[in-house]
Amino acid sequence: MNLLFLNPINRSRTYLLLLLFIGCWTSLLGKEKQKPNILFFLAEDINPYLGCYGDSVAMSPTIDALATKGIRFTEMYAPVGVCAPCRSSLMTGMFPTSIGANHMRTGGGPKARPYQLPSYQVILPEEIKAYTEYLRAEGYFCTNNRKTDYQFKNQLTFWDECHGEATWEHAPEDQPFFSIFTYLESHEQKIWESKNDTLWVKPSEVTPPTIFVSGFRRPEGLGNHVQ
């Protein structure tokens, strides 16, 4: 066994260093316990038509300002091309085809009623959790304002609050929060509702994408560009 003997001066210095070390370590532990608060703003169907992605027509100064202070992702891909199945992936991190959520709200709609098809909802396997369940397990107060539409039932374990008035302001004091707000104004159905409104931008001012895949109907204003 090795013994270390210190003279009074060295001993005092050693104790001082130990106290400094313990103080720094305690400070670091305190910082580790301080989890960041998270705000999640979601706008649907906007695609990359934003100024921060180089679009010369879109007017998005607030989002552009946020992009200059944050991280802008340039390699983004939707797992499926329709909203509800895509939201199932957003909540679980799984491909919709892996959890049976790839069919857009099968049954239950007006066209399905004559055939008496029941509305279909995915039943998630027990081992598949929503990401908010992991956040709640880590002590987060999670709120959703307010859209769900995941192709599976919105479970009570997903959120502490889930309604039109849900907000981080209802979180207990000193508890970290995760709050998501979904803006429905950009949903594609709003385009149909405003089809007779005055256009802010003339179609002639819009540069169409290099590769444009047309549907069954040729988009108005892009007829000369679609081959």
What's the rounded Cα separation, in Å, for the pair 30 and 24?
Answer: 10
CA distance 211 to 109: 33
Nearest CA among 138, 137, 180 for reference residue 162: 180
Q: Any catalytic annotation for residue 83?
A: yes
Question: What is the sign of the dihedral through the CA atoms of 58, 63, 65 and 68?
Answer: negative
Identify the active-site residue in 24, 52, 83, 86.
83
What is d(CA 99, CA 89) in angstroms, rounded to the nearest whole number?
9
- Tell me phi and psi for residue 25, to 5 degrees: -65, -40
Catalytic residues: 83
